[in-house]
A and B are shown apart, each in its own frame.
Chain A
Amino acid sequence: MNDIIQYVNDYLAYVLQYQHEIWRAIGETFIMVGISIAAAIILGLPVGTLLFLCRKGQQYENRLLFSILNALVNVIRSFPFLLLVVAMIPVTRWIVGTSLGTVAAAVPLSVVAVAYYSRLVEQSLLEVPKEVMEAAASMGASTIQMIFKFLYVEARSGLALGLTTSTISFISYSTVMGIVGGGGVGDFAIRYGYQRFEEEIMTFTIIIMIILVQSIQFAGNLASRLLDKRKV
């Protein structure tokens, strides 16, 4: 027993000498993931809604627009993420003025975030019964009213769950951002844990990631359950 306590103490003492770097890495991860969540909501939600509305058999069926958006989303999602980051360097430089650093790293991450979340939005909206849209039309709802007062209201628990899944994926994507100096928890684990053979640092980082992902999933599930009034 004493051995275990001794071991844990040593372990923590060892890890905590990097306290400063760890906090910094967590902060960088939050910035990158935070920006991509914002992008997912601001751009991914409308793109997903357009994908849904332009689909065959839907109210605003539009083959051309659907095909373009659909292909775009698929292309972005087919890229191995590392290659997307590299391929996007000119675009990143054009948007934020530099291709290095945490904010620059958030650019390719946001692009993937938009593509990823728009797909999940499309799926959630497809689950809304068509009859609800018919009721909306019979009440004289405009397109915007139909989207905000009917579609999103009925799909809200799915939208929340989709955002949870997306957030966790963004965290995973963000771990390779060391390649463009984005930092973050993953980069920290690779540089200190892997490249400097400090196993303790690697395991500690993994524990942080597990706690982070578990908490996000828990919060997402809870939110989705509280939002869902479709069944008693």
Chain B
Amino acid sequence: MISLQEVSKSFGNGTDRYLAIDAVSLDIEEGSIHGIIGASGAGKSTLLRIMNVLERPDAGKVSVNGRELTALGGRELREARRSIGMIFQLFQLVSNRTVWGNVSLPLELAKVPKAVRAERVQEVLRFVGLEDKAKSYPAQLSGGQKQRVAIARALANSPTVLLCDEPTSSLDPRTTADILDVLRHINRTLGVTIVIVSHEMDVVNGICDHVSVMEDGRLTRTYRNSQQDGVVPQDTGTPTNGAGETGGLGLL
């Protein structure tokens, strides 16, 4: 589904240069909810941005749905991105567009005809339960509602993958649970593969079936999370640097 092979990324120049992502390999199964957890500065967000090549890795390959994104550029890459939805910590809605206008954006970008667009916008807004807010502007919504709009916007193009960058980190615990429910629902009913980057252990363990731990630009381990109910698994294995999918290591 999503496959990273030995991807590396560094930022800065000369002596300021530092390695943000250090030869990371990772395979994410189709239909799974995969969490990436780590302290801030560990490179989680960069790794997520490499998955849709918002950050182009210096080395390594990225494939999504069997297409090697790192080999694409320009129009082909833009088209590939349309089947990869993305949501962010600060929602990143266009504040001068209504809820309707925001959700319709990806469809407009893909030049979907107006009638089809209207139907689809209605549909995804109903899916996230915000039909009645269609004419509101983002500033008139609560944080949780904004994130729902962002989710609706990400779903508009019927993506196969949804990338979530700290989706609940600016929300209160109750709203966090709501948003996680929505994500779980998307995964179960639409079969969308979800990748969640978070620094909150509860979030990742509560919803993800696979979890990767990130430290200093490397994936130290990946495990299967059997009890997606907020129980923090105990680490018993030795760290495996950049080893990618290592099954049930450290759990079960």
Contacts and interface: CB of A to CB of B under 8 A. Distances in A.
Interface of A: 129, 131-132, 134-135, 137-142, 145, 149-150, 153-154, 156-157, 227-232
B139 A232 contact: yes
Contacts of A132: 92, 94
17 contacts: A131-B90, A139-B82, A139-B86, A139-B105, A139-B157, A140-B78, A140-B109, A141-B78, A141-B109, A149-B94, A149-B105, A150-B94, A153-B94, A154-B95, A154-B96, A229-B96, A232-B140
B81 A138 contact: yes
A157 to B, nearest CB: 8
A179 to B, nearest CB: 42
B88 A131 contact: yes
Contact of A134 (B54, B94, B137): B54
**Which of A138, A156, A227 is the most central at the interface, judged by chain B CB atoms within 10 Å of its CB?**
A138
A142 B82 CA distance: 12
A140 B105 contact: no
Contacts, number: 74
Contacts of B106: 139-140
A93 to B, nearest CB: 44
A229 B109 contact: no
Interface of chain B, main secondary structure: mixed
Given A139-B153, A232-B139, 4 more contacts: A137-B54, A140-B79, A229-B139, A230-B96
A228 B97 CA distance: 10
A129 B96 CA distance: 13
Interface of B: 52, 54, 75, 77-82, 84, 86, 88, 90, 92-97, 105-106, 108-110, 137-140, 153, 157, 163
A227 B96 contact: yes
